[in-house]
Amino acid sequence: MSEEFKLKLTSRPRRLRSSPSRRSMVEESRVTSADLIAPMFVIDGGGDPEAVESMPGVYRLNVERLVVECEELFSLGIPAVALFPCLEPSQKDYKGSGALDPHALVLRAVRAIKEKTPGLTVITDIALDPYTTHGHDGILTDDETDVANDATVEVLMKMAVLHAEAGVDFVAPSDMMDGRVGAIRAALNEAGSTQTGIIAYSAKFASAFYGPFRDAVGSATARGKPSLDKRTYQLNPANRREALKETRLDEAEGADVLMVKPAGPCLDIIREVRGGTELPVAAYQVSGEYAQIHAAAERGWLDLNACRNESLLAIKRAGADMILTYFARVATEKRG
């Protein structure tokens, strides 16, 4: 090409990418600590933190250590945590009756966190899988072939009221039973808990990316199998329209926030949900997404920090207002 050759271009998009300051000025999406929610695993007793083998850097914490960790997260600017109890087998039964224990582990954790860090938003999971010996999210039918929808919802209503009474800010039904959001909203209102919000797992897919989480809460092999089949209540990953229908139903039933799970494989769903509602949209970067980034980085195939940040940015760019992620603390610390 001759030295005299010049393209006669009116628009040169690279002008806006030519320096760090220019790139910063025109950056369309940013992930801040205020966008992040930290999922936390809580255990009973007074022992040391228990490492989750399939999730490097993630631990099960007793209530005392959980309170300290929550205080530190809040000081970093992370506004919310989502709690998941990990119970001993002796604390579980076939019907998940421990979910209605007013002194349940997760309720004790909520009260302790709120006493120490009242400004932190606390979210609790509303589902029966941590409490059942079979590992499903609800009560099984008599023939044990499925989860009984209405019987499960009846328990979830009572469970949500207990959580509200303990001081939780949001209950998050993750069970995917039909009608549970409306029933929980009615139960909360009747109990006087009108300020307790609902973050609905509206588009929760039957994903292969949940495995490490089930290890963390002890439900992965509850029925003697490597993976539970939850396809009668969780969404088919192939179905876009069905996911949008579920989010519309949850909004109509009184959800305050709509959630898509998993986040990374469902960026298209996040975008469509964002475009179809005025409600805040949450997305859950699940355990398998976290684990695969770590695994590839440990082999030297990917840059951990760069891939972590890019994965979170993609979720935010797709339209999520808030992101549940096991990277919450480290992403905030590295950014700071």
Under 8 Å between Cβ of 138 and 165: no
Catalytic (active-site) positions: 204, 261
Which two tokens mark 244? 């949008």
Q: What is the 8-class DSSP label of residue 234?
A: S
Q: 3-state DSSP call for residue 183?
A: helix
**Count of residues in the chain:** 336
d(C-alpha 256, C-alpha 34), whole Å:
18
Torsion of CA 189, 194, 197, 198, to 10 degrees: 10
Alpha helices in 299-335 (DSSP H): 304-318, 328-335
Backbone angles phi, psi at 125, to 5 degrees: -80, 130
Element (H, E) at 42: strand 36-43
Which two tokens mark 136? 């499903």
CA 167 remoteness from chain centre: 19
**Which of 286, 305, 329 shows the shortest CA–CA distance to 77?**
329
